Amino acid sequence: MLLFPRKSRPCRAMATVSMVIVCLCLLKSLRVTSAFVHRLDKCEPIDIPRCRSMPYNMTRMPNLLHHSTQENSRLSFDQFHMLLDQNCSDVLLFLLCAMYVPICTVAFQPDPIPPCRGVCERARAGCEPLMNVYNVSWPEALSCAKLPRYERGVCVSPEAIVSPNAPAKREYHGTAQDFSF
């Protein structure tokens, strides 16, 4: 006694075609996923014009503020142009660039390296009084309390980056990491 009639060959062929289509879709999905993961681990040249003067020239996305592209990062970065033009702090540009287009160090560490808390505090101390004049608060996204202290974590500051033309100067404080890029 047959439960299914013999004419089920077209159904088997249909099932086989369906399986092939599903497999192709999975392969395409894996290719897209691996391309996305590869992009996350890839350094790219800095596109934000004001950050091209930094002592590093490569970054990676997503950044410390979770922007997935440099274009998104630039749009958010541009809100600080008036503060930068006022030159309210000698480390504000470094802080913003370190947050929006962090230094890319694939060989050293896969995650973006944040600026040190002291850099943020110096920028805030110089610029927050000017912001308060316009009834604007220091942005929560740039909360200094969220950043590591130089003595206790991996972070970067302008003083820790050695330019290629300068003699190497290494100072070690506590358990901090020295980044001589």
Of 54-58, 111-115, 163-167, the range with the lowest mean pLDDT is: 163-167
Q: Is the pLDDT of residue 13 over 90?
A: no
Backbone angles phi, psi at 72, to 5 degrees: -60, -40
Specify the pLDDT at position 135: 97
Specify the pLDDT at position 121: 98
Of 110-114, 120-124, 131-135, 169-173, the range with the lowest mean pLDDT is: 169-173
pTM above 0.75, yes or no: no
Residue 45 three-state SS:
strand
Rounded to 10 degrees, what is the CA torsion of 42, 47, 52, 57? 10
